[in-house]
């Protein structure tokens, strides 16, 4: 399969040369200890406290959004909180990302976002102004309104949480828990951006673009869902590309072998840094071999760089490969990313 398009091919060849000198064991250790990954490990223990008792709930924990039956359509319901380190580093960017990550969660499910509510806890008017400025900028770009919420105006800390409601066609929902052995793994992201100046694990590809381009990119997952082209998928979030893929594998009770030499990276970044990035717009999906080329074509026509980077296996391990070298990143028989299966 073709690995990538445009200028990213140069980056792939350059990366392959880097990887021959890279110790894969060291890379695995670095990614396993990355905070974007380790902060997910307690989720499984928390989930056990919540009983399931509604026949309308089609899917819940482990997905980017809960799926609730609503006739021929489903409601998609999700929430996200902003990392305190990001709030401290850049409150305006934190406000922007609070909106962005929620919109991504709905898009990743093959849906379209409808509206959001927020809970803002703040210790100064200046902090509130910065956070709200960032939120408004993202709202205007993606055209999804805040319609309510709650304000704590006098807390000794700063925190922001946003919940979002979306919809999708019942037959078009993309789940995280349905990857199948033999499927191709496809990664897609917007490479036209830069590492955020105040938070070096965020790649900003959205603030410089207008609504039309961003909504075109965002709609890629909806097109894939409605075309029944993918078996599973997620938006690439704080655990980075392989950490996010690990969440899919864990929820699906499968594994994968990933060819590191096939992962496109933005110009000026190395592989280790890119694998820990939250991209401004990025998704990882699985698809049958017969549909992989069509999946790549959908992402590319919508402005994302897409590449087939590996294959789903029955062995419940995420294995990284570069040339003749192989290293296990996650062994789901012994460890977890979230603990949700």
Q: Is there a contact between 126 and 85 (Cβ–Cβ < 8 Å)?
A: no
Q: Same domain, yes or no, for 163 and 187?
A: no
Statement to judge: residues 114 and 147 lie in one domain:
yes
Averaged pLDDT for residues 39-56: 71
| Tally of structural domains, the chain | 2
Sort 163 into a burial class: Cβ within 10 Å, 0-12 / 13-18 / 19+: middle
Q: Is residue 181 part of a domain?
A: yes
**Same structural domain for residues 189 and 157?**
no
Q: Tell me, what CATH number does 120's domain have?
A: 3.30.1330.10
320 found inside a domain = yes
Domain assignment present for 46 = no
Higher-confidence position of 44 and 227: 227
The residue out of 113, 142, 170 marking a domain boundary is 170
**DSSP assignments along 307-325, one per residue:** EEEEEEESSSEEEEEETTE
Region class of 240: left (phi > 0), else alpha (psi between -120 and 50), else beta: left
The pLDDT-based confidence of 21 (bands split at 50, 70, 90) is very low
Q: Measure CA of the first residue to CA of the last residue in the chain; give whole Å.
A: 31
Tell me the DSSP string of 11-25: HHHHHHHHHHTS-HH
Which of 117, 144, 170 is the C-terminal boundary of a domain?
A: 170
Q: Is the pLDDT of residue 296 over 50?
A: yes
Whether 266 is covered by a domain: the verdict is yes
Residue 83 pLDDT greater than 90, yes or no: no
Inter-CA distances, 252 with 45, 128, 161, 232, Å: 18, 40, 28, 9
The answer to whether position 115 is within a domain reads: yes
**Among the three residues 117, 146, 170, which one is the final residue of a domain in this structure?**
170
Q: Please state the rounded mean pLDDT for residues 142-149.
A: 96
* 4-8, 55-59, 222-226: segment of lowest average pLDDT: 4-8
Q: What angle do CA 229, 233, 245 make, to 5 degrees?
A: 135
| 50 within some domain | no
- Tens of pLDDT along 229-281? 999 999 999 899 999 999 999 999 999 999 999 999 999 999 999 999 999 99
pLDDT of residue 11: 53
The secondary structure of residue 261, as a DSSP letter, is: G
Residues 230, 250 within the same domain: yes
The token pair at 174 is 């993309």
Distance CA 322, CA 25 (A): 12
Note whether 26 and 125 are same-domain residues: no
Residue 206: what pLDDT?
97
Confidence check: pLDDT of 317 > 80: yes
pTM exceeding the 0.85 threshold for the entire prediction: yes
Same domain for 102 and 244, yes or no, is no
Please check whether residues 85 and 153 belong to one and the same domain.
Answer: yes
**Token duo for residue 99:** 């909106």
For 4-8, 159-163, 302-306, which range has the lowest pLDDT when averaged over its residues?
4-8
Give the residue-averaged pLDDT of 210-217. Answer: 97
129 lies in some domain? yes
Q: Tell me the C-alpha distance between 225 and 197, whole Å.
A: 35
* Sheet of 317-322, strands arranged across: 232-235, 282-287, 184-189, 305-313, 255-259, 317-322, 325-331
The residue written with tokens 């890279």 in the block is 22
Residues 123, 200 within the same domain: no
Provide the domain limits for residue 285.
8-41+175-331
Is there a single domain that holds both residue 71 and residue 31? no
* Pair 202, 283 in one domain: yes
Q: CB under 8 Å to 138, separation ≥6 — which residues?
A: 95, 96, 97, 98, 99, 100, 103, 206
Q: Tell whether 22 and 36 lie within a shared domain.
A: yes
- The answer to whether residue 48 is domain-embedded is no
Rounded Cα distance between 111 and 221, Å, is 8
> Confidence band (pLDDT; 50, 70, 90) for 44?
low
Weakest-pLDDT range from 1-10, 18-27, 271-280:
1-10
List Cα–Cα distances, 189 to 51, 69, 121, 303, in angstroms.
36, 30, 32, 9
Instruction: Answer yes or no: do 13 and 82 share one domain.
Output: no
In whole angstroms, give the CA distance from residue 294 to residue 296. 5
The dihedral through the CA atoms of 242, 168, 75, 213 has a sign that is positive
pLDDT tens string 85-121: 899 999 999 999 999 999 999 999 999 999 999 999 9
Report pLDDT for 43: 66
């Amino acid at each position: 399969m073709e690995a990538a398009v445009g200028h990213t091919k140069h980056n792939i060849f350059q990366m392959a040369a880097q990887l021959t000198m890279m110790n894969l064991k060291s890379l695995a250790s670095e990614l396993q200890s990355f905070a974007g990954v380790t902060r997910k490990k307690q989720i499984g223990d928390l989930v056990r406290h919540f009983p399931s008792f509604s026949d309308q709930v089609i899917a819940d924990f482990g997905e980017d959004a809960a799926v609730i039956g609503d006739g021929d359509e489903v409601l998609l319901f999700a929430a996200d909180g902003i990392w305190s380190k990001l709030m401290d580093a850049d409150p305006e960017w934190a406000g922007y990302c609070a909106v962005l990550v929620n919109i991504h969660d709905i898009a990743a499910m093959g849906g379209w976002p409808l509206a959001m509510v927020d809970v803002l806890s703040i210790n100064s008017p200046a902090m509130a102004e910065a956070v709200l400025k960032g939120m408004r900028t993202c709202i205007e770009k993606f055209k999804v309104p805040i319609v309510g919420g709650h304000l704590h105006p006098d807390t000794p800390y700063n925190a922001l949480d946003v919940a979002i409601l979306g919809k999708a066609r019942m037959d078009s929902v993309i789940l995280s828990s349905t990857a199948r052995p033999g499927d191709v793994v496809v990664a897609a992201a917007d490479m036209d951006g830069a590492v955020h100046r105040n938070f070096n694990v965020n790649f900003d590809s959205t603030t410089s673009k207008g609504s039309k381009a961003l909504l075109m990119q965002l709609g890629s997952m909806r097109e894939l869902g409605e075309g029944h082209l993918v078996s599973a998928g997620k938006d690439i979030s704080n655990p980075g590309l392989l950490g996010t893929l690990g969440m899919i594998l864990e929820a699906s009770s499968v594994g994968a072998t990933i060819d590191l030499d096939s992962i496109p990276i933005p110009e000026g970044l190395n592989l280790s840094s890119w694998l820990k990035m939250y991209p401004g717009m990025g998704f990882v999906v699985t698809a049958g071999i017969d549909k992989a080329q069509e999946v790549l074509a959908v992402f590319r026509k919508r402005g994302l760089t897409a590449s087939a980077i590996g294959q789903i296996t029955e062995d419940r391990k995420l294995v990284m490969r570069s040339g003749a070298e192989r290293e296990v990143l996650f062994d789901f028989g012994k460890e977890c990313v979230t603990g949700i299966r």
